Structure 1
Amino acid sequence: MPVVLERPPLWQRMLPMLRGFDWLLLLAVVLLAGAGLMAMYSSGFDHGTRFFDHARNMMLAGGILFVVSQVPPQRLMALAPPLYAFGVALLIAVALFGITKKGAQRWINVGVVIQPSELLKIATPLMLAWWFQQREGHKRPLDFVIAFVLLAVPVGLIMKQPDLGTSLLVMSAGLAVIFFAGLPWKLVLPPVVLGLVGIVLIVAYEPQICAEGVRWPVLHEYQQQRICTLLDPARDPLGKGFHILQGMIAIGSGGLHGKGFMQGTQTHLEFIPERTTDFIFAAFSEEFGLLGNLGLIAGFIFLVARGMVIAAEAPTLFSRLLAAGVTSIFFTYAFVNMGMVSGILPVVGVPLPFISYGGTAMVTLGLGLGILMSVAKARRTP
């Protein structure tokens, strides 16, 4: 009589796929996603289906996280050069015949309209981690020069579009990989000191360098205006300074405990511009106050700290550098968004992870978290 083997239920078949997951990292993501859904429900209540679209984007990111986490870091390493080359080729194609919207040439039609610069947020640190893995044990100064060139190519092409926010994210991820690969401090300190001196000079001579008709080298005019507006938003309170001023008013009006869920006047009277995307932190601050902000910041700090722990315990140089680079993306996202809404950084198009509305950014976050989970599983799986 033939033996009939019962097929195990689905949950038992999925257990091996979940083995090695970093549950502390996943807990931080779930808590931040919950805060994001609350903020989107309130700030996007009159934006049609934005709340449901935001929830759908989160589910999509969760699916991407699960799929990518099943890919071993060794296979990710094999994908690095072709993925980087493909991304750079798309950026060149955008520069040649991309689609222009609102004065920026950032998109290309390949059957569907895509923004290739988003791919480079992951492909660039992936490529740099691959490069230093090949040079492990015998790194030379020339290897760091080549790494800076590999980073400068996509950053330069993205800045030319122009897209300062995305270029900043790609640059921060790449610099994190180069730094953790062993970049000497004597090469790190001079540009940091030079940058600090430049900031002091800009603040000291703001009336002269921001005067009408003065043009700065390298930066586009709108980028120059953003910096000058940051230094003195009251210069044009109903124009270029409106975003910063309304964001600061909303944050301050929240006080210690906030006005309460769905009770934000600046939000619901539509004084906060882009309240479901770039400036959602202002809406969150108004309704949940300083205590809510501290909880949100604590969540991001824990997420970044957990990512760095995963990087420190990774089994190979490639995994360590990749995890550190991806973690730096989350840090830059949160720091830049909160900084620009609070009036301490220029306004750039950088969303707040898990909180701001946006499908493309959510896909990038899902990819990054999937990579971190893949590294965590490689650390724990024999």
Structure 2
Amino acid sequence: MILFDKRILSHFDFIQPFLVLPIVILSHVLISEANEALATKQYFYFSIGFLVFMFFFLMPLRKMQWLIPLIYWFGIVLLLGVEFFGTTKLGATRWIEIGSFSLQPSEIMKPTFILMLAYLIKKDPPPKDGYGWKDFFKFSFYILLPFFLIVKEPDLGTALILLLTGYITLFIVGVRTKIWISLAIIISIASPLLYSNLHDYQKKRIHDFIAEEPSYHVKQSIVAIGNGGMSGRPKDEATQTHFKFLPIATSDFIFAYSSERFGFIGNLIIMTLYLFLILHLLVLNLKLKGDYLSSTVATGLAVLIFIYACVNILMTIGFAPVVGVPLPFFSYGGSSFITFMSLFGILQNLITFKFRDEYKILG
């Protein structure tokens, strides 16, 4: 049996599970009420997610960081494989079938993408005045390559999330202001061209968003939120969900379902948990200053959760187009849960074993 130096436990960040577990538990309560079969299946996702967390937590990541570029390029190869060997579902080609198992490379790309950014920043730390154009173009290559491959599937939502995560992380790490101003001008000028190249269903989502009348999905979501009032309704009176008026109540629109059951107060608690989690990860970025591998992963994870949470919540109240973006740890689904568990496993590893070589391992 291997006994680790007690300092390993002292470096473990217990605040992360303290903030995440209430979100997971509340999610399971809601899904159990809406669909017992899905709630039972959720236990399988919890088990896989925990195993994935432990796998990354116990790996000697710092000693194996030379593998990060290889893993990134393997992810790119998988995305290219979708183009040639992908399976089409609901008009989108996003999966690779391996026997009875479906693999979604864009989900694998999320932790790989953040790790690659962290690796690049560690290899080339930002100067005091921030990165210049040369470094910015280098980082942009690694950000834009998966973006274009995922857009082609098409999966504009995931592609934009990765794009924003990459560039916001760079903004926090440090890039010269004139670069951001130049980019804002270029994007403003190019917006009509970008819009004209969208798929018809993507244009429709934008039309529905800016139209005077919200789409059916958003209407039902707003009704569910209104039904909840301040403190919510009993389970049997959550009519929008249980009479199936609210679409996709356990995943994309689970925030509206939560509002119907627990009201404004319940959702305020959920949003506060997300806010504290994001702020905690950003504070870690400051505490880990100089350790660019850990601090960039913490920053990238904070940005990813922020984007997911904002888009999902704004979508349910009609302030953003309806896209298939889950609420982290809250929406039903295995892919998103496992992806975030892997990211938290990686971050906890980098924090907990930062001084691994100083720990005494007894056999």
Normalising by the residue count of structure 1, what TM-score does the alignment of the two structures yield? Answer: 0.84
Matched, 1:290 2:290: no
| Deviation of the 1:248 alpha carbon | 1.1
Q: Deviations over 1:183-209 (max 9, x none)?
A: 11222245457778999xx9xxxxxxx
Aligned mates of 1:300, 1:153 — CA distance in 2: 30
Measured after TM superposition, the shift of residue 66 of structure 1 is 2.6
Task: Note if contact 1:42-1:262 (Cα within 8 Å) is conserved in structure 2.
Answer: no
Which structure 2 segments of 5+ residues have no match?
A: 359-363
Residue equivalent to 1:62:
50
Q: Distance in 2 between matches of 1:276 and 1:197?
A: 39
Which of 169, 172, 183 matches 2:161?
A: 169
Structure 2 equivalent of residue 212 of structure 1: none
Identity %: 32
Shift in alpha-carbon separation, 1:376–1:67, aligned structure 2, 3 A: same
CA contact (8 A) 1:173 1:328 kept: yes
CA displacement, residues 31-64 of structure 1 (integer Å, 9 cap, x when unaligned)? 111111112112224xxx2111123312321232
Are the equivalent residues in 1 in contact too, given 2:133–2:179 (CA < 8 A)? no
1:155-195 deviation line (CA, Å, top 9, x unaligned):
11101111122112222321233223311122224545777
Instruction: Give the distance between the partners of 1:345 and 1:134, measured in 2 at CA.
Output: 37
Q: Which of the numbers 152, 166, 171 marks the counterpart of 1:160?
A: 152
Q: Residue 294 of structure 2 contacts residue 351 of structure 2 at CA under 8 Å; is this kept in 1?
A: no
Task: Determine the structure 2 residue equivalent to 1:129.
Answer: 118
CA distance in 2, matches of 1:318, 1:14: 23
User: Which of 165, 175, 180 does residue 183 from structure 1 map onto?
Assistant: 175
**Alignment check: 8 A CA contact 1:121 1:173 kept:** no
- SS across alignment from 1:234: coil
Which amino acid counterpart does residue 34 of structure 1 have in structure 2?
I
Equivalent residue letter for 2:270 = L
Contact 1:73 1:378 in 2 (8 A): no
Query: CA offsets, 1:102-125, max 9 Å, x none?
Result: 110111123432110111111112
Whether 1:228 aligns to 2:207 is yes
Change (3 A) 1:34 1:331: same
Native 8 Å contact 1:310 1:375 kept in 2: no
Q: 2:361 matched to which residue of 1?
A: none
Tell whether the 8 Å contact from 1:275 to 1:283 is kept in structure 2 after alignment. Answer: yes
1:80-91 counterparts in 2 under 5 A? Answer: 80-91=68-79
1:49-128 matches, within 5 Å, as: 49-75=37-63, 77-111=65-99, 112-128=101-117
SS at match of 2:62: helix
CA-to-aligned-CA distance 1:201-244 (integer Å, 9 cap, x gap): x9xxxxxxxxxxxx941211111100110112627xxxxx1111
SS of match in other structure, 1:74: coil
Matched residue, 1:4: none
Runs of 4 or more off by more than 6 Å in structure 1? 12-17, 193-199
**Cα distance in 1 for residues equivalent to 2:237 and 2:105:** 39
Alignment of 1:256-295 (within 5 A): 256-295=230-269
- Write out per-residue CA displacement over residues 258-301 of structure 1, whole angstroms, 9 at most, x where no aligned residue: 11345311000100111111111111111111001100000101
Give 1:355's match in structure 2, choosing from 330, 348, 359: 330
Q: 1:199-348 counterparts in 2 under 5 A?
A: 216-232=195-211, 234=213, 241-314=215-288, 316-348=291-323
* C-alpha distance in 1 between matches for 2:234 and 2:217: 22
Question: How many residue pairs end up in the alignment?
Answer: 351
Please report how far the alpha carbon of residue 364 of structure 1 lies from its aligned counterpart in structure 2 after TM superposition.
Answer: 0.1
Work out whether residues 177 and 325 of structure 1, in 8 Å CA contact, stay in contact via their aligned partners in 2: yes
Aligned to 1:367: 342
- Distance of aligned partners of 1:327 and 1:355 in 2 relative to their CA distance in 1, 3 Å threshold: same
State the distance in 1 between where 2:136 and 2:266 align: 42
Q: Name the aligned partner's letter for residue 274 of structure 2.
A: F
Deviates more, 1:26-35 or 1:306-315: 306-315
Q: Deviations over 1:82-103 (max 9, x none)?
A: 1110010011111122111111
Say which is worse superposed, 92-101 or 167-176, in terms of deviation.
167-176
Unpaired stretches in structure 1, ≥5 consecutive residues: 1-6, 203-214, 236-240
Q: Which has the larger radius of gyration?
A: 1
The alignment's C-alpha RMSD in Å is 2.6
Distance (whole Å) between structure 2 residues aligned to residue 284 and residue 87 of structure 1: 35
Q: Which residue is 1:30 aligned to? A: 21
Take 2:212 and 2:5, find their aligned partners in 1: how far apart are those partners? 54
